[in-house]
């Protein structure tokens, strides 16, 4: 079974599985397709995180495929270029070295059964021959048209007569097809060295970026030890920092000892999830960043004492008072992919450009759209997440798994930038506290507390009585013009030998099993 946010991606994964490939093969082939057909959400100029459970056993492997800042990205150099506020998304300083292609090659080599060359072929065909523009892709694309006009290469590649391609029209990315063919022929080195790297580095240098060919040639992702907490008798498994998976676990730890209101759609329940999240995100923005620079240990953050210290600050019927935080950056664009194969190998896989269409900067010859993950760096001296040479920024993208009795019971993920940590916690609570099935848990109206504020982004489907009650508590309500995030999940029923899948109705995708 495969579950993704785009039907062509899900179908690609199923085709790989039917041809004998395993879950990792299928996840990477599907992701490569989404880098073409869902270009606002992900791309080969982005980053990747993954969890992989061989035969579904609780010996889960985690991979951090997030890129590092170039060696010349000092705080001083960045401040000269952009000032002392925040890094603009279209600044070359927002572009860390993309980690996705290196991650794909390492993961396929170590856990796949097919070559990178073979798994790139469907994406190459879509890029060369064209792909239809689906409804949600068109909606997101149209909202970024003004931004894409700012870069001449992005304008040429992604706009038709200055506008987003029409829904149902066929779009092509021929330069990207050629680039993917070169990567298929020569592997990761074709991306990180030679003409493709020269194209990216040259364009970033032209815009004032400090990137060098050595920064790209030295790029390497790494295997890391997964982190976990127990919630309602299940272990929830996440990647460690610099991702925010630890914050999803912290939210669950806070919720674990709070009362469970009988109505999951009550203002009382939303209030508790909101407050647990506001407190956990304040921790994230204060102390989470590159794991080589953390000042507080992971074990301490995930301890019951740490959770109780935050839990005790939650007051009934009003927002808690937060200290100052780094900054609130609520938006992001990502694809999450879940795949389970016949041997029950499970892949929980996520790939992202961060903002919709990332930095909006496209390398002119290769057609590579570069991400803007560096906007999450702080420009405050001494902050754990301050920009610096070779550092990895705080990341929002977080694949996850649910484990019980030594086996993976669910592979899942929630998209949506900052929302993902509360998204994981809320999704699991709906299933484990309220007995919802995965599809119903995904469809619950979403609320996102903007970090460091009393502002709540709400979906239009939130019941009016809940909106009024939360507003009366002291929250400021902001209606989102678009849905909040997306999700995919696959559950493994070991006793009956059955897989169940769900795909968020907020996106174009689907879950397909055979």
| pLDDT at 323 (0 to 100) | 63
Tell me which CATH code domain 224-330+397-512 carries. Answer: 3.60.20.40
What whole-number distance in Å separates Cα of residue 96 and Cα of residue 373?
A: 7
Catalytic residue among 334, 396, 453, 467: 334
Q: What residues contact residue 92 under an 8 Å CB cut-off, 6+ apart?
A: 81, 204, 205, 207, 208, 209, 210, 211, 359, 361
The answer to whether residue 447 scores a pLDDT higher than 80 is yes
Share of the chain above pLDDT 70, in %: 98
Provide CATH 3.60.20.40 ranges for the chain.
224-330+397-512
Residue 219 confidence class, pLDDT cut points 50, 70, 90: very high
SS3 444: coil
Does the predicted TM-score (pTM) go above 0.95? Answer: yes
The structure tokens listed for 400 are 């996850």
Handedness of CA 270, 271, 274, 280 (dihedral sign): negative
| pLDDT at 333 (0 to 100) | 78
The model's pLDDT over 461-500, given as tens digits with 9 standing for 90+, comes to 999 999 999 999 999 999 998 999 999 999 999 999 999 9
The structure tokens listed for 397 are 């993208």
Residue 329 confidence class, pLDDT cut points 50, 70, 90: low
Q: What residues contact residue 344 under an 8 Å CB cut-off, 6+ apart?
A: 55, 56, 408, 492, 494
Residue 326 confidence class, pLDDT cut points 50, 70, 90: very low
Q: What residues contact residue 41 under an 8 Å CB cut-off, 6+ apart?
A: 5, 34, 137, 140, 333, 334, 335, 352, 353, 356, 415
Average pLDDT of the chain, as a whole number: 96
4 is catalytic: no
SS3 410: strand
The answer to whether residue 327 scores a pLDDT higher than 70 is no
The model's pLDDT over 47-82, given as tens digits with 9 standing for 90+, comes to 999 999 999 999 999 999 999 999 999 999 999 999
> Is the Cβ–Cβ distance between 459 and 445 less than 8 Å?
yes
The structure tokens listed for 66 are 């997030």
Q: What residues contact residue 115 under an 8 Å CB cut-off, 6+ apart?
A: 108
The answer to whether residue 315 scores a pLDDT higher than 70 is yes
pLDDT mean over 191-211: 98
> Is the Cβ–Cβ distance between 329 and 417 less than 8 Å?
yes
Q: Nearest-CA neighbor of 278 among 86, 469, 455?
A: 455
pLDDT mean over 144-161: 97
The structure tokens listed for 81 are 């270029």
């Amino acid at each position: 079974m495969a579950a993704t946010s785009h039907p062509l991606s899900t179908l690609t994964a199923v085709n790989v599985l039917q041809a004998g490939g395993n879950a990792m093969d299928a996840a990477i082939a599907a992701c490569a397709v989404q880098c073409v057909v869902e270009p606002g959400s992900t791309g080969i100029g982005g980053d990747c995180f993954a969890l992989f459970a061989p035969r579904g056993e609780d010996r889960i492997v985690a991979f951090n495929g997030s890129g590092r800042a170039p060696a010349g990205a000092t705080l001083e150099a960045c401040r000269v270029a952009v000032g002392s506020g925040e890094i603009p998304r279209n600044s070359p300083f927002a572009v860390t070295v993309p980690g996705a292609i290196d991650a794909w090659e390492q993961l396929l080599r170590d856990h796949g059964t097919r070559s990178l060359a073979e798994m790139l072929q469907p994406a190459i065909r879509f890029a060369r021959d064209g792909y239809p523009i689906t409804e949600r892709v068109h909606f997101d694309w149209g909202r970024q048209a003004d931004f894409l006009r700012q870069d001449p290469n992005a304008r040429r590649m992604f706009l038709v007569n200055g506008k987003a391609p029409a829904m149902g029209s066929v779009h092509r990315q021929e330069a990207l097809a050629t680039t993917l063919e070169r990567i298929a022929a020569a592997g990761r080195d074709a991306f990180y060295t030679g003409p493709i790297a020269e194209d990216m580095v040259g364009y970033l240098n032209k815009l004032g970026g400090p990137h060098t060919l050595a920064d790209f040639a030295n790029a390497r992702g790494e295997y890391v030890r997964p982190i976990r907490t127990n919630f309602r008798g299940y272990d929830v498994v996440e990647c460690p920092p610099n991702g925010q998976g630890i914050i999803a676990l912290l939210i669950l730890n806070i919720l674990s000892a709070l009362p469970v209101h009988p109505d999951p759609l009550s203002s009382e329940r939303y209030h508790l999830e909101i407050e647990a999240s506001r407190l956990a995100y304040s921790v994230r923005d204060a102390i989470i960043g590159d794991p080589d620079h953390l000042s507080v240990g992971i074990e301490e953050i995930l301890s019951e004492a740490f959770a109780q210290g935050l839990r005790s600050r939650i007051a009934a019927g009003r927002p808690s008072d937060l200290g100052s935080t780094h900054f609130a950056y609520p938006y992001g664009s990502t694809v999450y992919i879940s795949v389970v194969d016949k041997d029950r190998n499970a892949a929980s896989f996520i790939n992202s450009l961060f903002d919709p269409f990332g930095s909006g900067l496209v390398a002119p010859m290769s057609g590579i759209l570069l991400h803007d993950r560096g906007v999450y760096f702080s420009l405050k001296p001494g902050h754990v997440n301050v920009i610096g040479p070779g550092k990895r920024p705080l990341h929002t993208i977080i694949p996850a798994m649910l484990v019980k009795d030594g086996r993976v019971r669910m592979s899942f993920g929630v998209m949506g930038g900052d929302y993902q940590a509360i998204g994981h916690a809320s999704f699991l609570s709906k299933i484990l506290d309220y007995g919802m099935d995965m599809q119903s848990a995904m469809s619950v109206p979403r609320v996102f507390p903007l970090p460091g504020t009393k502002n709540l982004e709400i979906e239009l489907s939130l019941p009016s009585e809940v909106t009024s009650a939360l507003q009366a508590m002291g929250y400021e309500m902001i209606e989102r013009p678009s849905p909040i995030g997306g999700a995919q999940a696959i559950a493994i029923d070991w006793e009956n030998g059955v897989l169940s899948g769900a795909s968020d109705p907020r996106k174009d995708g689907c879950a397909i099993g055979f």
